[in-house]
Chain A
Amino acid sequence: MEKTDKLSDKEDVLEIEDDIEESEISPEKESKNAVRTINLSVYFDERIAIENINLKVKKNTVTAIIGPSGCGKSTFLRSLNLMHDMTPKARMFGEILIHNENIINFNTVDLRKKVGMVFQKPNPFPTMSIYDNVASGLKLNGSGKSADGESITEIVEKNLKYSGLWEEVKDRLKAPALSLSGGQQQRLCIARTIAVKPEIILMDEPTSALDPISTSKVEELIYNFKKHYTIIIVTHNMQQAARVSDLTAFLYLGKLIEYSKTRRMFTNPKNHLTEDYVTGKFG
């Protein structure tokens, strides 16, 4: 309850145009965009997964992507950090701008450091301890220290605290990551993701494998993270989208049907498809 109050307070600050698709480009507004896609389409073989998606995501907001199964939510999310590179049959068209820079100018590895990802199922590295999992991004990328000279131990502690796991694991940092519960593993994965200091965090149904209490903990994190990160979250739980997000995008059959402020989306959607979906008539 408290959260929703806070959300409504912030809405004025966000200054979201009612019609997002309107493409009047003022430099000031542009600089607030963390992610922008222009005519983004993804094909698997000949099958089109998402088609001509134009979306702007502002800095320090939480954007939820909803839609029925197979509508391309995950496909869209995974194109933002070029995860489709691993799928040889996937082809991408259109442009993706991260902080107004086209991602074709990025090295994929650097892009993924900026655009972190949390997956549907908790996937800590099974061969590593809790500590090593959080440190894995830094260690595997070869830097013994972060840019500001913090030691790995400090970084691990800091990020475990951010992800709300520190109190639960501080006495057993060397224990295997898989000894944690599912919800703890997911928060560990979040700690691991933020340890590499991304600017944008993509979350692909991060709570769908979790129990309600773990879910609320993760949602709380998402809410708190807004200060530091831009978050895009795919969810098939509409209540979750309503709880955590500032803006919501509704995808259907690979197309972006509606994109607006979350509250408006759930109370007064413009498109009848959106209305049918959020009221549970299909999906």
Chain B
Amino acid sequence: MTTNSILINPVNLKKRKIINSVMLALCIVAAIITIIPLIYIFFYTTQSGISALNIDFFTQLPMPVGEVGGGMANAIVGSLVLVGIGAVMGIPIGIMTGIYISEYSKSIVATFVKFITDILSGIPSIIIGIFAYGVIVIPMQRFSALAGGFALGILMIPTVTKITEEMLKLVPQSLREASLALGVSRWKTTLRIVLKTASPGIITGVLLAIARAAGETAPLLFTSFGNSYWQTRIDYPMASLPVQIFNYAISPYDDWHRQAWAGAFVLIFLVFTVNLIVRIVTRNKFSGSL
């Protein structure tokens, strides 16, 4: 850098440089503060849970109180099933609602739907659990994986809707026009051009929704309930990792505490893996070009 130029006032330059350094330092500090909790959680769960992690943890059922060992195999599978039911229900509805709000935003109905979705995203998850309890558990007369998945699905809808809408709005209007001008019908334009262009962002939103649903405990407490045994039918109570972790963590047994940590570790790992796999599978060689 040459500061010899007579056009640059050296005093001002010094002041600017100081302000610049201070601001940069503040941003770096903020960035570090952001990642510290994440790294800390990751290390702490790993450290506390790793001792209980073994083959048994992934293959065995929980042991009765007093017996050491056992695993959470049923809860791991249960969580996948519950999140799966939620995803199958919530993601298509969320994406289609997002398309409606974004592409048909001029209609009053769309404005109303957008408003309701925003409210829905602010509703505490336990309330959604109560709702699922009311509409599925009570008529069925028992807790079930279906009710749990339903609650998770509802939980996913606003997140997916919001992100879909935001991402579709980022797609330049000129691309829609380009496609329409080629004589492509509107629904094909929306599906093959607009949605495709926005897909990297939408996938991120979907993953966020899945990750959030996978970690939800409250809506499962009185819908899917939990189960100490294998359950393959979705109309019966099913174990899930968050509920199992919750039950074990509040128990007075050290062995269960260790298992709860291991469960937490597996939960984080699962979310991470799903994230990674979906990103690899849906990777578009042109993504990032938007």
Contacts and interface: CB of A to CB of B under 8 A. Distances in A.
Interface of A: 81, 83, 86, 88, 109-113, 116-117, 119, 121, 123-129, 136-137, 140-141, 176, 178, 189, 192-193, 196
A82 to B, nearest CB: 9
Contacts of B174: 119, 121, 123
B175 interface: yes
B193 A193 contact: no
A37 B197 CA distance: 36
Contact of B175 (A110, A125, A176, A196): A125
A125 B188 CA distance: 14
Nearest to B191: A140
Contact of A141 (B176, B184, B199, B284): B184
Contacts of B185: 109
B182 A127 contact: no
Contacts of A129: 286
B286 A127 contact: yes
A137 B182 CA distance: 6
Contacts of A81: 181
A125 B184 contact: no
Contact of A86 (B176, B284, B287): B176
Contacts of B285: 176
B99 to A, nearest CB: 15
A189 B177 CA distance: 12
Band of interface residues on B: 20 to 34
B286 A128 contact: yes
Interface of B: 106, 172, 174-185, 188-189, 192-193, 196-197, 199, 284-287, 289-290
Nearest to A174: B285
A125 B179 contact: yes
A136 B286 CA distance: 16
A137 B181 CA distance: 9
Contacts, number: 83
Given A140-B188, A176-B289, A178-B289, A123 B175 contact: yes
Contacts of B197: 125-127
Given A123-B172, A128-B286, A176-B285, A136 B177 contact: no
Nearest to B286: A176
B181 A178 contact: no
B286 A112 contact: no
A128 B184 CA distance: 16
Counting chain A CB atoms within 10 Å of each CB, the highest count among B178, B193, B287, B289 belongs to B178
Contacts of A189: 178
Contacts of B175: 123, 125-126
Given A119-B174, A121-B174, A126 B290 contact: yes
Given A125-B193, A178-B286, A119 B178 contact: yes
Contacts of A192: 178, 182
B177 A125 contact: no
Contact of A193 (B181, B188, B284, B290): B181
A129 B183 CA distance: 20
Contact of A126 (B177, B183, B189, B286): B286
Given A119-B178, A125-B179, A127-B286, 7 more contacts: A83-B177, A113-B182, A121-B174, A125-B175, A127-B289, A136-B182, A193-B181
B145 to A, nearest CB: 37
A116 B182 contact: yes
24 contacts: A83-B181, A86-B176, A86-B177, A109-B183, A112-B182, A117-B177, A117-B181, A119-B178, A121-B174, A123-B174, A123-B178, A125-B175, A126-B175, A126-B197, A126-B290, A127-B284, A127-B289, A136-B184, A140-B188, A140-B189, A176-B285, A178-B286, A193-B181, A196-B182
Nearest to B184: A140
Contacts of B106: 88
Contacts of B172: 123
Counting chain B CB atoms within 10 Å of each CB, the highest count among A116, A124, A136, A140 belongs to A140
B107 to A, nearest CB: 9
Contacts of B286: 126-129, 176, 178
A85 to B, nearest CB: 8
A119 to B, nearest CB: 6
Contact of B183 (A110, A128, A178): A110
Contact of A83 (B180, B183, B192, B199): B180
Contacts of A136: 179, 182, 184
A203 B39 CA distance: 55
